[in-house]
Amino acid sequence: MNNQVTIRNAILSDINAVIELDLVGTPEEKLAYWQGIFDRYVTTGKDGVFFLVAEINGEVIGFAIGEVRAWEFGSPPCGWVFSLSVSPKTRERGVGRLMFKEMCQRLKNAGVSTVRTMVDRENKLTLSFFRSQGLRTGRYIELEKQIGDMEATS
Amino acid sequence: MKLQKASLFGLYAVLELARDTERQLSATDIAESYGISTHHLAKVLRTLVRSGLVQAVRGAGGGYRFTGIVNRTTLLDIIELFETLESDLDTPSPNAQSGGAIVEELQSITREIDDLTKAVLDTITLETALNSSQLRDTLSGQ
């Protein structure tokens, strides 16, 4: 049996495998979200947009999505990786590293020299992964405010 | 952030030993590499041995070797053996009631900074730090 990991562009029929690999939320909640993502990143095939999947023996075991974004928050064009997931049963085999490397190469070919992502600070596993790939705290600081109770806030 | 000397020496020792887990080094070997006090480092190494991250090998040719897991141990794991990373903000005296809200606000700000500091140190494993330092060596032609 060949256990070689291959990275390829996602196709529409990958949607169920991707939903399965997305560990956040329930499948019911995620269907509409992922249909929208596939429409935008797979069907339309815009420049500077990359939806990759990793597979072993034809089974999808990971995915990564990234794109070039320009002038958001005053930033010159840069690459954003906004989703990356690997099946727990194939972790520690370099799948995430391979996908991230391929994503960086695609983003570089698209003309950007910086890649960014955003991770919950409690998500040690993902933060440690991105740090192991050389990412550091960037120059932009994410700020937020609870606005559920506007009366209590100034 | 100002790390205590013990934390810094602990990081030096663990990173140096974790570079090659087969290798044994004496306290003097490590202290000389980093230009630090052997006496102080020996105390730090005792703490590291108690934590189980480092083993002391007795006898001729003995020394210390790393016995932890390089891709699971973070910089914060080492630092917290020696100190808690909490900003030192003197609380007001019980009589200073009127300044309470400002003190609370300053405490909240220092907690925000502490949380960020910990989030950074808790996600850099020894392996990641060693890989990055190796890359620095390569780039600087050493």
Q: Please report, for the domain that includes residue A124, its CATH number.
A: 3.40.630.30
Query: Angle at CA A113, nearest 5°, toward A112 and A114?
Result: 100
User: What pLDDT is stored for residue A153 in this prediction?
Assistant: 52
* A94 in contact with chain B, both atoms CB, cutoff 8 A: no
**Spatial distance between the Cα atoms of A115 and B16, rounded to a whole number of angstroms:** 31
Which of B115, B120, B128 is facing A132, going by the closest CB pair? Answer: B128
ipTM of the complex: 0.81
Q: Is residue A152 part of a domain?
A: no
φ and ψ at residue A51, rounded to 5 degrees:
-125, 110
Q: Please report, for the domain that includes residue B53, its CATH number.
A: 1.10.10.10
Q: Is residue A77 part of a domain?
A: yes
User: What pLDDT is stored for residue A84 in this prediction?
Assistant: 95
User: What pLDDT is stored for residue A1 in this prediction?
Assistant: 46
Please name the residue of chain B whose CA is at the shortest distance from the CA of residue A132.
B128
User: What pLDDT is stored for residue B47 in this prediction?
Assistant: 98
Strands (E), chain B: 54-57, 63-66
pLDDT tens for the 154 residues of chain A, in order? 457 999 999 999 999 999 999 876 666 778 889 999 999 999 987 889 999 999 999 999 999 999 999 998 899 999 999 999 999 998 888 999 999 999 999 999 999 999 999 999 889 999 999 999 999 999 898 999 999 877 655 5
- Max Cα distance, chain B (Å): 65
Split into its structural domains, chain B has a count of: 1
| Residues in chain A within 8 Å Cβ distance of B75 | none
**Spatial distance between the Cα atoms of B56 and B47, rounded to a whole number of angstroms:** 11
Q: Is residue A141 part of a domain?
A: no
- pLDDT tens for B112-125 read 999 999 999 999 99
Scanning A22-94, the segments in alpha helix (DSSP H) are 27-38
Split into its structural domains, chain A has a count of: 1
- pLDDT tens for B5-46 read 999 999 999 999 999 999 999 999 999 999 999 999 999 999
Domain holding A54, by residue range, is: 5-136
| Residues in chain B within 8 Å Cβ distance of A121 | 115-116, 119
* B124 in contact with chain A, both atoms CB, cutoff 8 A: yes
Domain holding B134, by residue range, is: 5-139
* A145 in contact with chain B, both atoms CB, cutoff 8 A: no
